[in-house]
Amino acid sequence: MAMLIHTLSDHSDDVNYCAFSSSCLATCSLDKTIRVYSLNNFTELPYSPLKGHTYAVHCCCFSPSGHVLASCSTDGTTMVWDTRNGRMLAVLEQPSGSPVRVCRFSPESTYLVSGAADGSVVLWNMESLKLYRSGNVKDGSLVACAFSPNGSFFVTGSSCGDLTFWDDKMRCLYNEKAHDLGVTCCDISSQPISDGEHGFRYFQMASCGQDNQIKLWLILFADFLGVELKCKCTLNGHSAPVLACAFSYDGQMLVSGSVDKCVIIYETSTGNTLHTLSQHTRYVTTCAFAPYSPLLATGSMDKTVNIWQFDLKQPCAGNTVENESKVTVEDWSEDDVSAWLCAQDLADFVGLFKMNNIDGKELLNLTKESLTNELKIGKSAGLFLEVHVLHCRKTAPFLFCSICVHACMVLVNIRSYYLRASTSFEFSKSTEMLGIC
């Protein structure tokens, strides 16, 4: 159960954003200020409020260490603050002077991204506090941003509904039309997830929009191939535009806030609704989980920030999203078998298995003799052991998404051959086996 334990009422206008560090909570507002609270007793720190912006503050975020806080504003600047004493470290001016809507630190604090109403995206070097790279989204205002946990890419969301993936050189990796009426927020879970049985690891992302929807996405990323994106499910719990979404630190929960004045907490693995909170009296504009404690903050146009405490072991309730199904080994397709091989670090055998049309049934029929005599594999203890394990199981159920598994198979397979190719001859040979040259 989620329990309201504190309400902060210090802002004199709409609360636009809130963010946690390990020891503090920061909030920002239409009243041009940023307030910083201790998590011990929710009292303001001596230097709070932070004043410097000349117009509304739209967003604030902590660096991973929590020692630095960034804030951005309609005044066209992103300000950087020292959270130990409240000292302003830098004023970063958006080159276009456009109102800055969102800011985010990279996981290693190397970069800070700022996104503006004119669609401009700036990557700031945090060591020099200078502009490093800049770019623009195709259309609309830039309103949302999130980094991958490993810092290899970041995602921006626009008022035109696009999610755009960028690398640290500001090269566009991928673009997805996600929400017809515009994206309002996005977040990437800090914890990669896997399917359990096969060990596929991918990033989980959430986006929300003016279409009243929240979408959960699965992201596969490889340096060689770029981004593969799959929509896992759509959550339709809100009756009005969804303005905010955020993952819990462990990635097991997702919280959202909406124009319908409600806050909904979902279980990400099933899509079940865990809690619906309706204490705010106006639009819920922001929500955030604390990283290391069972706390949730929600902010609203009612000028308040509510602090909630909840039970992590609370059983889920509601309807399960039925985008996933259990699949037995017998029912595996050839692509499923290829994905299984990749997950067992046996990607070298994918080409051979594909050429011999080995699906789930054929896989279960393989013996040591057939592996040696028919497939000419020889004494591969690793492969034989893994096949033997499957023989010992009547079924191998796992949560399965065919497109995601297929994408994983392609990414891991090609990347495996690419990385193993130490000479041009080896690379040519491996790509020929894969049928890509």
Q: What is the pLDDT of residues 40-62, one digit of tens each?
A: 999 999 999 999 999 999 999 99
Kindly report the CATH number assigned to the domain that includes residue 87: 2.130.10.10
pLDDT in tens, 168-196: 899 999 999 999 999 999 999 998 876 55
**Do 299 and 364 have their domain in common?**
no
pLDDT in tens, 389-415: 666 554 333 333 333 333 433 333 333
**Do 254 and 368 have their domain in common?**
no
Least reliable range by pLDDT among 139-143, 344-348, 352-356, 404-408: 404-408
**Do 234 and 354 have their domain in common?**
no
Report CA dihedral (111, 58, 145, 191) to the nearest 10 degrees: 90
Whether the Cβ atoms of residue 235 and residue 321 lie closer than 8 Å to each other: yes
Count of structural domains, the chain: 2
Among candidate residues 80, 93, 89, the one with its CA nearest the CA of residue 122: 93
**Do 276 and 355 have their domain in common?**
no
Mean of pLDDT over the chain:
83
**Do 339 and 285 have their domain in common?**
no
**Do 329 and 201 have their domain in common?**
no
**Do 305 and 409 have their domain in common?**
no
Instruction: Give the range of the structural domain holding residue 91, as residue numbers without chain letter.
Output: 2-310
Whether the Cβ atoms of residue 256 and residue 245 lie closer than 8 Å to each other: yes
SS3 assignment, position 214: strand
**Do 342 and 218 have their domain in common?**
no
**Do 32 and 152 have their domain in common?**
yes
Question: Is residue 162 included in any domain, yes or no?
Answer: yes
Which residue shows structure tokens 């630095």? 68
Question: What tokens does 271 get?
Answer: 């899509």
**Do 360 and 303 have their domain in common?**
no
User: Percent of the chain having pLDDT more than 90?
Assistant: 63
